[in-house]
């Protein structure tokens, strides 16, 4: 059937009144006839007619038809074949609702307003087909265009605001692919609170795809596209030891309003409120409060803001208050150890056990786990593996594979050289590919010559901060009686050298976070007096990166809601805030700070970012214009018919010239 791309142009058909009026106003002029005399003619009056009739009916009908054709031509006619079986046929109007399900939508009344607005659109629109796109349980959830409105209404009721690793950009990218190829008007309706922290990095190219964008704000109250207010949040909460009998819980608070806010903050543990502190938050400012709890009395606690505000999810935070689990270390050594191996193990074991404070941060040898790693058995992490006197025994037991697996898994390994068999050690390194260096023999102290000592640490060195002031003197006075001479590879770090510039420690870092540290000297008095000095412990801690964050070494693992984590082969559910425990791992799922920010993005900037660089403006595209793109255009035929009528009209309306051979006369 015939349809029109510009139906409003049909109003120009009223111009057909012009030729009718012209024909009614036209008066035929009589030809003058000359008479020789008017003496004998009698005067007579011309009778009046009651109404005037148009003359030249054929020409009038032709002109009316011409104006009708011109009006139809301006309306952009095209032929559209109807498809009664396919609801998504060419020329249909399709809309996709992109629903923002981020946690901030649960505040400021945004979620209820979203359900009301989208439900009204679905119920009040008869000619459109709809689809739906959202994120639920960390994955994209979509309903195809053409889904029954009853199903879409039910789906919206079942959606919940929740955190997800998938951002809104994933929804924007996916929405353009959900339209059917025969779609007429394509429209994406973004329903969101348009929080700036969530939308500021959005980018799209809907203009090039001919897709119309509609931004439907919810949760803005009576002032759309303005910054929201009335929110206070707990930014962070941490626990730390306070002596041996108490723990301290400090909490950072944030005021998102432009006026001072007085609030009460309470800590809940063991089924009761243990302490409440009154504090005043400055406008758009932060404040800290601290709570004291008995050590070992509680396993967990929760800090909360007592006063309600517009966004409730960031008003409380739970945390573990137990000391972190002991960090584990283990040894690999020759099955038939020498005295030097046993003496070195005693030094290192005493150093590792004293690396913590004995109560809150503890290091504990785990022989069983070290043997499991040696046999290639997967299990709990071993924070530090110490391989003593690496030599032929390492190759005989084929330990290169489990050691490499441990390093690739993010483990830290410290290796010391043997007393002898340096050729075997060098062969193990080359065949396994663990380290690449050139062996250059042994440097030994000669009586009467200055002993080998550490060089002065460069200011940019990570160790320079640790060994500053009086502690540097203790390090530099340490005597290295003998060490292996190596020429390092460019891919290795050299954090320590002797005074002549020869490497004393080589470090190789792995992409997985693993760290291999090779000491060119051993840890007992026949090689160095370093273990006898106070500088040994901080040197070992810094080189082996043992001062990492508590969360990654036996303490509670802190994750933001929606962040992905797997322990072993088991994924951790991080959709809900709170505390969880999987095996020996303690997990804290906290509220993402970005969801607390109430600032709203600028509407014009977001529209430009989503439309892209296309010169077309999809928002101005009407339904009939889009339909016309998929139909058969008829305007050439209407233009041809109009041209034929114009030519015919010109021929019929041309004046007839009369040639008089003789002057007409009449005599009375």
pLDDT digits (tens, 9 = 90+) for 9-29: 788 878 888 877 777 776 665
Listed as own residue / partner, the contacts of 660-668 with beta carbons closer than 8 Å and 24 or more positions apart are 663/34, 664/33, 664/34, 665/34, 665/35, 665/36, 666/33, 666/34, 666/35, 666/36, 667/35, 667/36, 667/37, 668/35, 668/36, 668/37, 668/38, 668/39, 668/40, 668/41
Of the three residues 289, 305, 323, the one that is the final residue of a domain is 323
Smallest Cα–Cα separation from 317: which of 555, 595, 581, 579? 579
Q: How far apart are CA 208 and CA 611, in angstroms?
A: 8
Place of tokens 């700036």: 196
In a domain, 151, yes or no: yes
**pLDDT (0 to 100) of residue 91:** 54
How is residue 14 written in tokens? Answer: 């009223």
Query: Is 347 part of any domain?
Result: yes
Give the count of beta carbons closer than 10 Å to the beta carbon of residue 39: 7
Residues 102 and 212 in one domain: yes
Asked if residue 294 lies in contact with residue 246, where contact means CB atoms within 8 angstroms, the answer is: yes
> Last residue of some domain: 518, 548, 578?
548
Block residue for tokens 């505390």: 579
538 lies in some domain:
yes
Which residue, of 323, 345, 361, is where some domain finishes? 323
Task: Please indicate, yes or no, if residue 475 is contained in any of the structural domains.
Answer: yes
Closest CA to 100 of 88, 110, 89: 110
The tokens describing 604, both together, are 């014009």
Which neighbouring-strand residues pair with 258? none
Q: Are both 237 and 149 inside the same structural domain?
A: no
Half-sphere exposure of 444 (CA within 13 A, CB side): 6
Round to whole Å and give the CA distance between 489 and 438.
8
CATH code, domain with 399 = 3.40.50
Residues 471 and 505 in one domain: yes
Can you state the percent helix, strand and coil of the chain, rounding each to 5?
30, 25, 45
pLDDT at 84 (0 to 100): 45
Nearest residue to 553 (alpha-carbon basis) of 380, 406, 414? 380
Exposed, middle or buried, 385 (CB in 10 Å: 0-12/13-18/19+)?
buried
Cα(128)–Cα(94) distance, rounded to whole angstroms?
6
Sorted by sequence, the CB contacts under 8 Å of residue 343 that are 6+ apart come out as: 524
- Under 8 Å between Cβ of 488 and 480: no
Q: Mark whether 395 and 521 lie in a shared domain.
A: yes
**Residues 582-635: tens digit of each pLDDT:** 877 889 999 999 999 999 999 999 999 999 875 444 444 444 444 545 567 887
User: What's the confidence (pLDDT) of residue 36?
Assistant: 64
| CATH code, domain with 176 | 3.40.50.410
The distance in angstroms from the start CA to the end CA of the chain is: 69
- Which residues in the chain land under pLDDT 70? 26-55, 80-91, 548-555, 568-569, 614-631, 655-668
Q: What confidence score (pLDDT) does residue 548 get?
A: 61
* CA 134/CA 213 separation, integer angstroms: 17
Q: Dihedrals φ, ψ of 167, to 5°?
A: -85, 180
Q: Which 3 state secondary structure label does DSSP give 277?
A: strand
505 located within any domain: yes
What is the C-alpha separation between 487 and 634, in angstroms, rounded? 84
Domain of 506 in residue numbering reads as: 327-548
C-alpha to C-alpha distance for 331 and 388, rounded to whole angstroms: 7
| Residue 293: closest CA among 347, 236, 240 | 240
**Residue at 564 is within a domain:** no
| 45 contacts: CB under 8 Å, gap ≥ 6 | none
Spatial CA neighbour of 165 closest among 585, 551, 549, 566: 566
Q: How far apart are CA 234 and CA 523, in angstroms?
A: 48
Task: Give residue 436's pLDDT.
Answer: 83
Same domain for 479 and 405? Answer: yes
Task: Indicate which CATH number applies to the domain containing 268.
Answer: 2.60.40.10
Q: What's the pLDDT score for residue 160?
A: 95
DSSP H/E element including 438: strand 437-444
Token readout for 503 is: 């490497």
Verify that 20 and 128 share a domain, yes or no: no
Quote the radius of gyration of the chain (alpha carbons, Å).
44
Strand-strand pairing, 482-488 and 437-444: antiparallel
Residue 480 and residue 607 share a domain? no
Same domain membership, residue 603 and residue 458: no
Is residue 589 within 8 A of residue 578, CB to CB? The reply is yes
Give the separation between CA 388 and CA 344, rounded to whole angstroms.
Answer: 8
Q: Are 315 and 417 contained in the same domain? A: no
User: Are 246 and 191 within one domain?
Assistant: no
**Residues 332 and 318 placed together within one structural domain of the fold:** no
Pairwise CA distance, residues 532 & 541, whole Å = 16
Helices and strands (DSSP H and E) totals, the chain? 17, 31
CA–CA dist 399, 389 (Å, integer): 14
Q: Is residue 296 part of a domain?
A: yes
Q: How far apart are CA 516 and CA 536, in angstroms?
A: 18
Q: Is 95 within 8 Å of 175 (Cβ atoms)? A: no
| Tokens at 356, concatenated | 């913590």
- Total structural domains in the chain? 4
* Residue 40 placed within a domain: no
Looking at the fold, whether 419 and 277 belong to one and the same domain comes out as no
CA 236: distance to chain centroid? 22
Strands lying side by side in the sheet with 128-136: 139-143, 128-136, 93-99, 186-192, 211-217
């Amino acid at each position: 059937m015939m349809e029109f791309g510009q139906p409003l142009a049909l109003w120009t058909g009223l111009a057909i009144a012009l030729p009718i009026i012209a024909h009614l106003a036209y008066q035929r002029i009589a030809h003058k006839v000359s008479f020789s005399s008017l003496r004998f003619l009698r005067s007579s009056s011309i009778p009046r007619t009651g109404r005037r009739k148009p003359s030249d009916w054929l020409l009038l009908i032709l002109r009316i038809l011409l104006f009708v054709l011109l009006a139809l031509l301006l309306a952009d006619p095209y032929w559209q074949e109807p498809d009664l079986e396919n609801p998504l046929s060419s020329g249909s109007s399709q809309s996709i609702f992109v629903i923002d399900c981020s946690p901030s939508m649960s505040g400021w009344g945004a979620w209820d307003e979203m359900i009301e607005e989208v439900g009204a659109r679905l119920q009040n629109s008869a000619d459109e087909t709809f689809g739906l796109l959202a994120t639920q349980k960390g994955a994209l959830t979509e309903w195809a265009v053409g889904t029954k409105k009853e199903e879409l209404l039910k789906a919206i009721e079942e959606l919940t605001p929740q955190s997800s690793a998938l951002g809104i950009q994933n929804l924007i990218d996916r929405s353009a692919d959900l339209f059917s190829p025969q779609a007429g008007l394509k429209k994406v309706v973004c329903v969101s609170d348009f929080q700036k922290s969530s939308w500021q990095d959005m980018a799209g190219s809907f203009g090039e795809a001919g897709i119309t964008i509609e931004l439907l704000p919810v949760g803005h109250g009576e002032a759309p596209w303005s910054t929201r207010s009335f929110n206070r949040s707990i930014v962070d909460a941490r626990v730390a030891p306070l002596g041996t009998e108490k723990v301290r819980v400090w909490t950072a608070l944030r005021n998102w309003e432009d006026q001072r806010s007085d609030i009460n903050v309470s800590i809940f543990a063991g089924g009761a409120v243990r302490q409440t502190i009154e504090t005043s938050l400055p406008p758009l400012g932060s404040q800290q409060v601290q709570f004291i709890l008995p050590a070992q009395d509680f396993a967990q606690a929760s800090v909360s803001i007592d006063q309600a505000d517009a966004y409730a999810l960031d008003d409380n935070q739970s945390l573990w208050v137990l000391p972190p689990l002991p960090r584990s270390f283990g040894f690999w050594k020759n099955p038939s150890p020498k005295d030097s191996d046993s003496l070195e193990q005693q030094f290192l074991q005493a150093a590792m056990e004293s690396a913590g404070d004995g109560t809150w941060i503890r290091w504990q040898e785990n022989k069983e786990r070290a043997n499991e790693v040696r046999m290639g058995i997967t299990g709990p992490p071993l924070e530090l593996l110490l391989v003593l006197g690496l030599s032929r025994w390492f190759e005989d037991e084929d330990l290169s594979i489990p050691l490499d697996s441990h390093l690739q898994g993010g483990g830290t390994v410290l290796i010391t050289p043997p007393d002898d068999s340096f050729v075997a050690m060098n062969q193990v390194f080359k065949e396994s590919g663990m380290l690449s260096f050139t062996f250059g023999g042994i440097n030994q102290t000669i009586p009467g010559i200055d002993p080998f000592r550490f060089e002065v640490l460069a200011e940019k060195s990570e160790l320079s901060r640790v060994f500053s002031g009086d502690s540097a003197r203790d390090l530099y006075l340490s005597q290295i009686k003998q060490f292996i001479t190596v020429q390092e590879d460019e891919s290795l770090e050299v954090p320590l050298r002797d005074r002549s510039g020869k490497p004393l420690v080589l470090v190789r870092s792995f992409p997985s976070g693993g760290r291999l540290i090779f000491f060119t000297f051993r840890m007992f008095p026949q090689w160095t007096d370093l273990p006898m000095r106070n500088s040994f412990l901080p040197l070992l801690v810094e080189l082996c990166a043992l001062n990492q964050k508590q969360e990654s070494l036996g303490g509670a693992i802190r994750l933001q809601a929606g962040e992905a984590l797997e322990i072993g082969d088991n994924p951790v559910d991080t959709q809900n805030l709170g505390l969880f425990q999987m095996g020996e791992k303690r997990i804290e799922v906290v509220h993402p700070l970005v969801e607390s920010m109430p600032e709203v993005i600028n509407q014009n900037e977001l529209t430009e970012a989503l439309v892209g660089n296309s010169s077309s403006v999809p928002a101005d595209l009407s339904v009939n214009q889009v339909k016309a793109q998929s139909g058969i255009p008829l305007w050439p035929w209407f233009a041809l018919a109009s041209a034929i009528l114009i030519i015919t009209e010109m021929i019929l309306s041309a004046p007839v010239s009369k040639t008089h051979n003789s002057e007409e006369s009449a005599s009375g």
